[in-house]
Amino acid sequence: MAQIILYNLETDGTVPSYVTDGGYLPKLNDNPPPQDYDLVGAATSGQFALQVFDSEQDLLSYANAFMPDSLLGPNNETILLSQIVAEIWGKKANAANP
């Protein structure tokens, strides 16, 4: 079943094979490079995930802990964190059919 997960890169810097779309909401951690960021992504399995998000609200709560409520987009437009999270959560359906 497709899931939205928290993961790190592999020790060689590659994306884990079970992640179909990722690199979102990077958060610095205490690991050595290239595993020094926790990343959010869509995956075919949550078996090796640091965390599996059960709902869009859980993902938003995670993101709210370290990101501002809104960001400036490339054209100086305001992008709400909730919009970003909703787009990431929408990728869950695509993870089952990469």
- The residue assigned the tokens 């709400």 is 80
Tens digit of pLDDT at every position of the chain (98 positions)? 689 999 999 999 999 999 999 999 999 999 999 999 999 999 998 899 999 999 999 999 999 999 999 999 999 999 999 999 999 999 987 766 55
pLDDT at 93: 77
In terms of Cα–Cα distance, which of 89, 80, 1, 93 is closest to 41?
Answer: 89
pLDDT at 51: 97
pLDDT at 97: 59
pLDDT at 98: 53
The verdict on whether omega for the bond into residue 34 sits within 30 degrees of 0, i.e. cis, is yes
